[in-house]
Amino acid sequence: MGNPNEITAQEYRPSSLMLAVVLGTLVALALSEAVLALAGIPRVKGTVDHAFTEPPEIVMVDEPAGMTLYRLKPLSRMHFIYPEFGGASRNEIIVQANADGFRGPDCRPRSSSPETRILFLGDSFTFGAGVELEDSFPEQVIRILRETGKDVVGCNRAMFGYNTMQDWFVFNRDSGSLDPDIVVLGYFLNDASGPLFTVDPNTGLVSQDSANPFWAASKATPTSGIFRSRLARLVWEGHHFFQVQRITKEYYRSLYLDSNPWRDPNRESLSALVNACEEKNIRLLILIFPVLEWLDTTYPFEAIHRFVTEDVMSQAISCTQVIDLLPKMRNRPPKSLWVHPMDHHPNGMVHEEVARIVVEALNDPRATFASCTCPPNTLASHHGEGDDF
């Protein structure tokens, strides 16, 4: 018979080993929490505070053609508050609406003096989401041209969330009174989507397009329950990051598939805008903004950029030019181009670069739309070899 003490030791060894594993795990977790706390990782991500759905600042406009539009409440203010996160300090942007419910100076009628009138259309990129008014590229374009002695007037009719159908509707409605010589359209890949805001005909309630990856990207970090643990929050943020990356790629690709019911109506609206500008001898400059992610050779949407460019230029004659901004952003660190780690709209530096690209295109006598015959009595009509505009 063996030693009874040895048998007892064997019986207790598994329990001792398990206890050691549990204690070791707890110590490792405690050390991990301490290290993360000392490093300030992860930073709690709040939400971008905005007033998208507050009735005092958004006005839904039912137009007679059946197109439901929205705009800011005339002369109201919209606040965008960005929390301190990811090395970015807390920041607040105040958007002041003009008398028409858009951003920027009021759009006045053409004066008796010769002047070149530029109409800006587009979504949040042209609206200047996340940047001060003076830093938005439409304002910078007008400022640069005036500094070089040009008699120009700018009118910004862009609105965050507008698709190409809404851009065309605004142009078709307002171009007669605004009388533009040049139209600059900021095109982003989600311009083939449905409306960002819709009104329920039964309840009158406003709803948002929940498929837009902006909502997923701006989701706040949970902090209750198990997520009081920094380690748990770090795991959540890692999972959330890859989830947003997947959702973003799937979303933009899906907009250009046959299964998207909004693709063709938006495509037809872009075609209508091109044809209208050609017929009226209005110079049309279309800027294709890239998604500010994956800007190296792995960028997943180049085929969409080519599709939009070729689709437009197949209809253009002499008054339309497309500039794809992807090559200008290629191999840039995406974070250096963002308004904020939680808002991937282009920052002031990008707007400044885009403004200079627009000015160079307008001043380039070799530009695709340089041969467009503009209306008389405007600077744009005197375009010739070596001349500005």
DSSP state letters, 261-300: TTHHHHHHHHHHHHHHHHHTT-EEEEEEEPPSS--STT-T
DSSP structure class, residue 80: E
Q: What angle do CA 381, 387, 389 make, to 5 degrees?
A: 50
For residue 119, what is the enclosing H or E element? strand 116-122
Q: Which residue has the higher pLDDT, 262 or 317?
A: 262
| pLDDT above 90 as % of the chain | 49
N residues, the chain: 389
Instruction: Quote the pTM value.
Output: 0.82
Residue 183 pLDDT = 97
Angle between helices 263-279 and 164-178 (to 10 degrees): 20
Sequence letter at residue 237: E
Distance CA 156, CA 175 (A): 12
Residue 20 pLDDT = 77
Looking up tokens 């998604």, which residue turns up?
Answer: 291
Question: Span 297-314, mean pLDDT?
Answer: 95
Residue 51 pLDDT = 38
- Is residue 291 a contact partner of residue 249, using CB atoms and an 8 Å limit? no
Question: Span 146-167, mean pLDDT?
Answer: 94
Token duo for residue 137? 């590229």
Cα radius of gyration (the chain)? 27
Distance CA 112, CA 114 (A): 7
Angle between helices 302-313 and 263-279 (to 10 degrees): 40
Residue 316 has a CB neighbour count (10 Å cut-off) of: 19
- Is residue 233 a contact partner of residue 42, using CB atoms and an 8 Å limit? yes
Residue 364 predicted with pLDDT over 90? no
Distance CA 379, CA 249 (A): 43
Residue 53 pLDDT = 37
What are the tens digits of pLDDT across the range 61-120? 766 555 678 888 888 888 888 777 656 666 788 899 999 999 999 998 887 678 899 999
Residue 15 pLDDT = 74
Residue 210 pLDDT = 57
Instruction: Based on DSSP, count helices (H) and strands (E) in the chain, helices before strands.
Output: 10, 13
Residue 171, Cβ density class (10 Å: 0-12 exposed, 13-18 middle, ≥19 buried): buried
Q: Which residue has the higher pLDDT, 49 or 298?
A: 298
Residue 108 pLDDT = 86
Evaluate the omega torsion of the peptide bond into residue 201 and state whether it is cis, within 30 degrees of 0: no
Give all domains of the chain, ordered by start, each with its CATH number: 112-382 (3.40.50.1110)
Residue 88 pLDDT = 61
Contacts of 87 (CB under 8 A, 6+ apart): 341
What are the tens digits of pLDDT across the range 173-198? 999 999 999 999 999 999 999 888 77
Residue 274 pLDDT = 96
Residue 381 pLDDT = 36
CA atoms within 13 Å, Cβ hemisphere of 305: 15
Q: Which residue has the higher pLDDT, 221 or 333?
A: 333
Q: 335 — phi, psi (to 5°)?
A: -60, -25
Indicate the pLDDT class of residue 245, thresholds 50, 70 and 90. Answer: confident
Residue 139 pLDDT = 98
